[in-house]
Every structure is written in C-alpha cells, then in structure tokens.
Amino acid sequence: MKMRSFLSLVSTLLLTACPILSAQPLSPAASQPTVAEAQAFMDKAEVELLDLSNLAARAGWVQATFITDDTEIVAAKEGERVIARTTELVEQSKRFDALNLPPDLKRKFLLLRLSLTLPAPNDPKLRTELTQTAASLDGSYGRGKYCPGGDETKCMGIDELDVRMAKSRDLKELEELWVGWHKVGAPMHDRYARFVDLSNQGARELGFADTGVLWRSGYDMTPQEFSADLERLWKQVEPLYLELHTYVRHRLIQKYGAAAERPDGMIPAHLLGNMWAQEWGNVYDIVAPPLAPQTYDIGQILEARHTEPRQLVGYGEDFFKSLGFAPLPKSFWGRSQLTKPRDRDVVCHASAWDVDNDMDVRLKMCIHISSDDFTTVHHELGHNYYQMAYRKQPFLFRSGANDGFHEAIGDSIALSITPEYLKKIGLIDKIPAAEADIPLLLHTALDKIAFLPFGLMIDKWRWEVFSGQVKPADYNKAWWTLREKYQGVAPPVNRSETDFDPGAKYHIPGNTPYARYFLARVYQFQFYRAMCRAAGYQGPLNRCSFYGSKEAGARLNAMLELGQSKPWPEALKAMTGEDKADASAMVEYFQPLLTWLKEQNRGEKSGWTVAPDPLKAK
C-alpha cells in the first residue's frame, strides 16, 4: 500500500495530539471558572503532555521495531498512561464549557475532546484491558505468517507475501497465498469484539454515541455532514472507477479465462496483484494497452543501478530540498529503520514517526528497490516534513489540518514523479513520446483510482461495527457486503463467520482510522494542481512536475506551518485558494484516460450485480 502512517496504537495516539494532565483538586471558586484559569489549565496540559507523549512514542517505536511480549507490554502501559491522563483531562475540562473563550483556546478544548482515536473507560481495570487488547491485536498482525504446506522453514510474513502476490501469475499459488494470509484474522475475532465494546464505553463516557461518531467528529463538521461529504466525493469519481473496473475485468478474463469470469461481474480478489485488492498496479503487465509505446519501470532502473535503501530515501529528500525545504536531520538517518532486520520480528508496514514532537522524525520501512517503494518513500517523507513544519505550533496544533491532509502531502509530491522529473534527476535519458501518456495514466489509475472504494468501505464497515448495526456474528458477512457493493470484488473461496477477514488488513487490528486515506486521494490532486499553478505550469495536468519550484514550495509550506491551528477549509484555502474538498482535479488529471477507457469498453457490460444485503433483511 502506498499510503501508510502512524500504524501502531501508541503512534496513532500521539499523532492525534493526546493531552495529559495530573489530577488537581478543584479550588473553591471552581464553580465559577475564569478565562485565565482555562488558559492556565491548557498551558499546563500542553507542557506536561510533551514529556509524556515522547515517552509513549519511544515505547511505540521499540514495539514496532522489536516485537516481543515485553515490548508489547511496555507499549501498552505507556499507551494506557496517555489514555488515562487524557480521559481525566477531558473530564476536568468540562468546568470551562460555559466560558466564552478566545478562538485559539476554544479550538484547543475542542481538539482535546476529540483527541483520542482509542477512547477508554474510566475504570482502570477496563482501561488496562483495552490497551493490552489493542497491543495484542497489533502484535498478532505483526507476527502473522503463512507457511506453505505447513512447512515452518518456508514461513512468510506479509512483507514477503506482498512481493509474491505482486509477481505470481499462477492461479493456484495466488489462491493459496490469499487464503493462507487471511487465516491470520480468525484468532482476532473475539478479542476485536471485546475491543469494540471497551472502546465504545470510553467514547460514551466522553459524550459520544460510539467510537465511530467520535472519529467522524474530527473534521470541522458534524458526523452526518462528514459521511455525506464522503459520498459526494465518491460520486464525483465513481464513473472513472466503473470504467477502470470494466476494462481490468475484461483483460483478466482474457488472461485467466473462467477463473476470472463470474456471472455477477465481480473480480476475484486474489487476481489483482495485492493481498487486499486495494491497489491494482501490480497487474499492469496483464492489462497494459496492446502495442503500448515502450515506457520505463523505475524499479528496474534503480535495481540496475544497484540502488541502496538509503539512496532510495535520498531521492525523496532531494525533491523536498528542491522546493526550498531543509535537509532531513542527521538523527533521521541514524534512527530510522529502512530495511528488515534479520534477527527479530518487526512491523514492516511503512510509517513516518515524530518521536519528540520536534526534529526527531523517523521512517520505518522494510524497503524493496521497487517502483512502489520509490513512491512510498516520497509519501512517508511528506509526513515527516509536515511534522517538522508545524513543530513551532502549540502542542495541540501539532497535527495535520485533518488526518487526510497528512496522508495527501507526500502523494501530491509523488504525482510530480513525471518523465520530465525523472529525466532531470538522471533516471531516464529521454522523455517518452506523448502517446505514452495513456500507459502511464493507466498505471497510475490502477493504484489511485482502484483504491478509492476500498478507502471508503473500511471505515464504513467499522462505523457500522462501532454503532452496533453490525454484530460480531456478522463481522465477515458485512465486510464482504461492503466490498462487493463499492469495489465489485469477491473472495476467491467461500467465506464464513469462522473467518475474520478484516483482521488480515493491518488498519483494523492496528486501530488506524481509514477515511483519511480516501480523503488523501482527493486532496492530493487538489494540492498537486495548486502547486502546478504556483509553478507557472500550463498544459495537461498529468504532465506537470513542479520539481525545483520554490514558488510551489512556498505555497505548500504556508499550509504545512498552520498544522491544526485552523479549521481544515482554511488550511486548504491557504494552499489552493479553495475551501471545499473537490475531486475535479483528479477527474481533470485522468480525463485522457477516461476517454480512452470508454473507447476500450465499447460493447462491454459495465458494473456488477450485488446480492441483497442479508443483514438489512434481518
């Protein structure tokens, strides 16, 4: 996956700005608090928070890069401290609710109330149970392996399985890999159900109906408005997805025959080159346009040059430097995990870390010299540069304008990885002819567009689980109902409630909200178009590279420095001049491809048939 960040319990807590304060006895005048007292309360919270959050970040880093029972316990304990203090502080802050506070202070109190992605019960015993359950779910995923034929000498973690899924074209092997990995979820089912109950109890004690409502409240609009806005954005891009789905399905049937052809028009999930069928770029060789002009493979170029992981990261750093940003700190290079250690289990899922809320930023990856990881590096460094840009803000404002912004920054940079850019940095000798645009756009769409419905349905499933609309006995059924509805993909083998396929996707056991990734797909094209305009570019949007443009960098930095100090529409306007999320930039970028796909799909049946939702019939 190309969009990864903050993927452990503790790091998620930290990056959502968790405030901490020691319990203090209330003064006799507590019934009539003043604005000055509210300011003093918040000031003390932010000072103490900095120290405690740094400790939790370090514990989370050790857990993610050295998975053992001991590191899980330490990370859980530090996470528990964060949650306990935050919960206490939210309760204490209620005495200031009736005050007419200055705008910045009022926003801090709002962010305080919304700061926990993992709300926990006030009861210490239940809080401990929740944090330990969360850490164990995270660890179960990190330790998960599939051993072909039960041979423990051939076991593979998800990092190795990703590579095999991407490269294999053997139907039997693809099915075995898919089924083998998805077994990792089944043992999580009951723990996850308990996790949901405990988290919901914590959310209710904070004043929210459930954890999903709490999550949807963090977007400067009501939860209902946020859900509706996601659907509005999806409708803008759905026609492009339908054309892509139709084209890819047809080409897969040409490749695999009956194994790829279903009467309902869905695509078997294991045939799309990715364990979760969330991005399809790995099957480009199957769906490439006939007689397509020769283009390039960045991964092959880098491999031929014997590129090392550190050098790969250097390409991303150089792009940001070309926009006027400073080099990465020396500590970044000494403390990041760029390759998979041979002597221990780690969470290879790429993520960017801000360990001290200042300049100790780090990258955690198990880098492969590939086109995917070349793009992922640019994405993850976007997080790190965002973190450094807002580090001078007050603590509660040291976060993205919303979590989708954080995910979009690096991807907007990665969109600028055009032939022109690659020629400038010496990775290719000449720019492919204009007719090569369709293959390049198709390759990009297989990841960017194919991801959209997946990015939408993950949290739709989770919101239904948190709300109680979906019960534990129906977890897997509801998961596949949504995947079929939005993605038009189906499992390669029959699934039942003895399976827990959501657990095979990291962000579920890792408790990482996912709507951010859908939003990031939209925002990144808005950001990209704005930076292209700032750079003075004129021409087809998909050919723009703002590499080397200090003007584009200044526009980007103006937004990054704001952090979360302003509502996200204001931050968006600082960058783009627009105060509303809009997928028109994405549609503009892919317009040449959309025209081409419609021509290719002439005579083909578009879409798929979805069976009635069995849960709604209950």
Instruction: Determine which one of 517, 528, 547, 589 is catalytic.
Output: 517
Measured CA to CA, the distance from residue 446 to residue 593 in angstroms comes to: 11
Measured CA to CA, the distance from residue 464 to residue 562 in angstroms comes to: 33
- Examine the residue annotation and report whether 349 is marked as an active-site residue of this protein: yes
Q: Which residues contact 203 (CB under 8 A, 6 or more apart)?
A: 119, 209, 210, 211, 213, 214, 466
Measured CA to CA, the distance from residue 352 to residue 423 in angstroms comes to: 28
- Examine the residue annotation and report whether 378 is marked as an active-site residue of this protein: no
Measured CA to CA, the distance from residue 418 to residue 63 in angstroms comes to: 37
- Within 10 angstroms of residue 604's Cβ, the number of other Cβ atoms is 11
Residue 234 token pair: 């999806």
Measured CA to CA, the distance from residue 357 to residue 338 in angstroms comes to: 21
- Examine the residue annotation and report whether 245 is marked as an active-site residue of this protein: no
User: What Å distances lie between residue 462 and 14, 482, 515, CA to CA?
Assistant: 21, 11, 10
Instruction: Determine which one of 407, 520, 534, 583 is catalytic.
Output: 407
Measured CA to CA, the distance from residue 415 to residue 431 in angstroms comes to: 16
- Rounded to 5 degrees, what are φ and ψ at 287? -105, 0
- Examine the residue annotation and report whether 350 is marked as an active-site residue of this protein: yes
C-beta of residue 71 within 8 angstroms of C-beta of residue 135:
no
Q: Which residues contact 595 (CB under 8 A, 6 or more apart)?
A: none
- Examine the residue annotation and report whether 380 is marked as an active-site residue of this protein: yes
Furthest CA-CA distance within the chain: 81
Instruction: Determine which one of 250, 349, 368, 406 is catalytic.
Output: 349
Measured CA to CA, the distance from residue 167 to residue 152 in angstroms comes to: 22
Instruction: Give, rounded to a whole angstrom, the gap between the first and last alpha carbons of the chain.
Output: 35
Instruction: Determine which one of 270, 383, 406, 443 is catalytic.
Output: 383
Residue 324 token pair: 């006027």
Instruction: Determine which one of 72, 176, 380, 484 is catalytic.
Output: 380
C-beta of residue 605 within 8 angstroms of C-beta of residue 479:
no
Measured CA to CA, the distance from residue 252 to residue 596 in angstroms comes to: 18
- Examine the residue annotation and report whether 270 is marked as an active-site residue of this protein: no
Measured CA to CA, the distance from residue 450 to residue 329 in angstroms comes to: 35
Q: Which residues contact 170 (CB under 8 A, 6 or more apart)?
A: none
H or E element at residue 362: strand 361-364
Q: Which amino acid is at 411?
A: D
Strand partners, 533: none
Instruction: Determine which one of 243, 507, 520, 574 is catalytic.
Output: 507
Residue whose entry in the numeric block shows the structure tokens 């209330």:
26
Measured CA to CA, the distance from residue 353 to residue 191 in angstroms comes to: 27
H or E element at residue 353: strand 351-354
Extended beta strands in 145-286, E state: 267-268
C-beta of residue 510 within 8 angstroms of C-beta of residue 8:
yes
Q: Which one-letter DSSP state was computed for residue 118?
A: S
User: What Å distances lie between residue 491 and 105, 202, 342, 448, 495, CA to CA?
Assistant: 49, 34, 33, 22, 7
H or E element at residue 525: helix 515-534
What amino acid positions are annotated as catalytic residues?
349-350, 379-380, 383, 407, 507, 517
